[in-house]
Amino acid sequence: MWELLTGQEPYADLHYGAIIGGIVNNTLRPPVPESCDSDWKALMERCWSAEPSARPSFTQIVRSLTFMETSLS
């Protein structure tokens, strides 16, 4: 979602060791741009939850994205 939002590669400026360490520790998250829609940001942050059980299911993600799409129309 972050890549779709920014059009950039996450962690492009980090050494691969830092990326691996951040992933292993479950602490590495790219910065969310200030201009990010609040619903999109909330969904991204839920997907990034350190607690796997707190992350949305794919069905919940689809519902959220569908809701966001219909609210734009």
- CATH superfamily for 2-72 is Transferase(Phosphotransferase) domain 1 (1.10.510.10)
Which residues touch 53 (CB under 8 Å, ≥6 apart)?
none
State the Rg of the chain over Cα: 14
8 A C-beta contact, residue 9 and residue 3 = yes
Task: Dump pLDDT digits (tens) for 22-64.
Answer: 888 888 899 999 999 999 999 999 999 989 999 999 999 999 9
Q: What is the pLDDT of residue 56?
A: 97
pTM over 0.85: no
For the chain, give every domain's residue range.
2-72
